[in-house]
A = this chain, B = another copy of it.
Amino acid sequence: MARATGPRGPYSYCDSKEDLLGRMRKIEGQARGVTRMIEEDRYCVDIVQQLTALASAAEEVSLRILEAHIKGCVSDAIREHRGEEAVNELMATIRKAIRR
Asked if B44 contacts A68 (CB within 8 A), the reply is yes
Expressed in whole angstroms, the minimum distance between the Cβ of A21 and any Cβ of chain B is 6
Q: What CA separation (Å) do A56 and B100 show in the bound complex?
A: 6
Asked if B96 contacts A98 (CB within 8 A), the reply is no
Of the residues B43, B59, B83, contact of A98 by C-beta under 8 Å: B59
A interface with B by C-beta (< 8 Å) = 1-3, 5-7, 9-14, 17, 20-21, 24-25, 27-28, 31-32, 34-35, 38-49, 51-52, 54-56, 58-59, 61-63, 65-75, 78-79, 83-84, 87, 89-91, 93-100
A-B contact list, 12 entries, CB within 8 Å: A1-B40, A1-B42, A17-B39, A24-B38, A28-B28, A28-B31, A44-B73, A51-B58, A51-B65, A52-B96, A55-B62, A98-B98
